[in-house]
């Protein structure tokens, strides 16, 4: 009779040492893996909030693109292009007022740019150009000096340069081929900042963090993480979208270092249970907090198939007055999808269980949308249903 394994191990003391070594190794591995798992589930505060005052500013301007190879605006159809061209030439000392201009190498465009925070004078930023008239393409064009205005109608940047487009148009006598959008382009580093946005970060007595996705729980966790890191109650969540941090309470004079330390803190953001449906494209997005109460789902279709198989009837040989006739034959088949199944989802099922159950039924995205709407109407979907 074989000896019990525990008795066999007891006869070898070195085996216990090996087991202790393995157990210690597994414990160390668990301790090493735990922070990694927590880190994967956490998100930096930097990625879910924005600092008040540290923001972009939108700029817009109106200008002319010249040098187009006959693909510009038709001046007889677009009066503002002609007026802008005449005004520009007059400022350069060329008097063409009263003359009829026939050029098609000029296009009126709208120029847009984004002024980043703390951008100093002389900083270059990208500019985007879009045709305003009936120009066919901006390929090969050059934007002339265009002031870019902010919301306060002040000039913050000036744009000029060669326009790079992401499409093209080729035409012949009978056909035209267009790829992409040739009436829109971009000028890399095409705008120079002329005015800075006044904002003194160093004089702030309070830093307000604005959440990208407002949530009470997430705001509270951010405040707790900041207080735990600094060691005093300097942060408080005033509402679901804002967390205020008192700079004086931190006893720090360098606010840049303070914001940097706060941004690197990691928390686990919370989210509401929501299902977003795009009926136009059939896209369904469900969060991991979505839960379903006990519900039965059945999916099946009624299919009626009609098949026409006409037959030809020939007369008997040597028959008198016989003619060939086409005899209709119709076969009607009704399929009630007898193989359809009914799935019962128990209370509190997760997103993965819901999707697995629907996939087992062979349900497509369009049918899933109808099923989710029906589950919501029945009161069994414990989540917000948003249709866009």
Mean pLDDT for 241-258 is 87
Q: What percent of the chain has pLDDT over 90?
A: 44
* pLDDT exceeds cutoff 50 at 238: yes
Mean pLDDT for 315-332 is 69
* pLDDT exceeds cutoff 50 at 307: yes
* pLDDT exceeds cutoff 80 at 5: no
Mean pLDDT for 242-253 is 86
Instruction: Supply the pTM of this predicted model.
Output: 0.66
Question: Which pLDDT belongs to residue 2?
Answer: 42
The listed range with the strongest mean pLDDT (92-96, 110-114, 230-234, 280-284) is 110-114
Mean pLDDT for 369-382 is 82
Quick one: 183 exposed, middle or buried, by C-beta within 10 A (0-12, 13-18, 19+)? buried
User: Tokens 């497509």 identify what position?
Assistant: 364
Of 243, 208, 199, 210, nearest to 50 by C-alpha is 210
Neighbours of 162 (CB within 10 A): 14
Helix, strand, coil share (%) of the chain residues, nearest 5: 25, 35, 40
- Say which residues have a Cβ less than 8 Å from residue 138's Cβ, sequence separation at least 6: 65, 68, 71, 107, 109, 129, 131, 163, 165, 182, 183, 184, 185
Higher pLDDT, 88 or 335: 88
Mean pLDDT for 21-26 is 41
Neighbours of 319 (CB within 10 A): 9
- CA pseudo-torsion sign 252, 253, 258, 260: negative
Of 272, 276, 271, 297, nearest to 286 by C-alpha is 276
Q: Report how far apart, in Å, the C-alpha atoms of 272 and of each of 42, 214, 286 are.
A: 17, 10, 11
- Rounded to a whole number of angstroms, the CA Rg of the chain reads 36
What are phi and psi for residue 6, nearest 5 degrees?
-65, -35
Joined together, the tokens standing for residue 161 give 């340069």
Mean pLDDT for 229-243 is 93
Residue 69 has what DSSP assignment?
S
Question: Which pLDDT belongs to residue 332?
Answer: 54
- Tally: H helices and E strands in the chain: 7, 26
Question: Which pLDDT belongs to residue 368?
Answer: 77
Indicate the average pLDDT of the chain: 80
């Amino acid at each position: 009779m074989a000896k019990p394994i525990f008795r066999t191990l007891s006869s070898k003391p070195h085996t216990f040492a090996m087991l202790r070594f393995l157990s210690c190794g597994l414990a160390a591995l668990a301790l090493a893996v735990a922070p990694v798992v927590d880190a994967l589930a956490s998100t930096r505060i930097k990625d879910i909030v924005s600092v008040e005052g540290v923001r972009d500013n939108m700029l817009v301007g109106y200008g002319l693109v010249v040098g187009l190879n006959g693909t510009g605006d038709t001046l007889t159809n677009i009066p503002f292009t002609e007026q802008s061209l005449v005004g520009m030439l007059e400022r350069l000392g060329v008097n063409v007022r009263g003359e009829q201009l026939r050029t098609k190498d000029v296009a009126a465009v709208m120029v847009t740019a984004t002024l980043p925070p703390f951008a100093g004078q002389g900083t270059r930023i990208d500019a985007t150009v879009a045709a305003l008239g009936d120009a066919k393409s901006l390929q090969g064009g050059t934007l002339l000096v265009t002031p870019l205005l902010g919301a306060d109608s002040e000039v913050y940047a000036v744009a000029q340069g060669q326009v790079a487009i992401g499409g093209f148009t080729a035409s012949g006598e009978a056909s035209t081929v267009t790829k992409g959008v040739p009436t829109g382009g971009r000028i890399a580093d095409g705008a120079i900042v002329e005015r800075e946005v006044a904002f003194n970060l160093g004089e702030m007595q309070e830093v307000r963090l604005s959440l990208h996705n407002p949530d009470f729980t997430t705001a509270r966790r951010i405040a707790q993480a900041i207080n735990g890191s600094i060691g005093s109650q300097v942060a408080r969540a005033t509402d679901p979208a804002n967390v205020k941090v008192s700079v004086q309470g931190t006893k720090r004079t360098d606010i840049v270092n303070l914001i940097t330390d706060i941004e690197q803190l990691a928390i686990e953001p919370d989210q509401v249970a929501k299902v977003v449906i795009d009926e136009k494209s059939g896209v369904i997005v469900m969060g991991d907090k979505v839960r379903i109460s006990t519900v039965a789902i059945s999916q099946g279709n009624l299919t009626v198939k009609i098949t026409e198989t006409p037959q030809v009837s020939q007369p008997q040989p040597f028959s008198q007055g016989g003619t060939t006739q086409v005899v209709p034959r119709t076969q009607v088949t009704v399929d009630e999808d007898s193989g359809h199944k009914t799935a019962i989802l128990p209370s509190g099922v997760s997103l993965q269980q819901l999707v697995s159950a629907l996939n087992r039924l062979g349900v497509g995205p369009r049918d899933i949308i109808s099923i989710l709407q029906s589950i919501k109407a029945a009161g069994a979907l414990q989540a917000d249903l948003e249709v866009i």
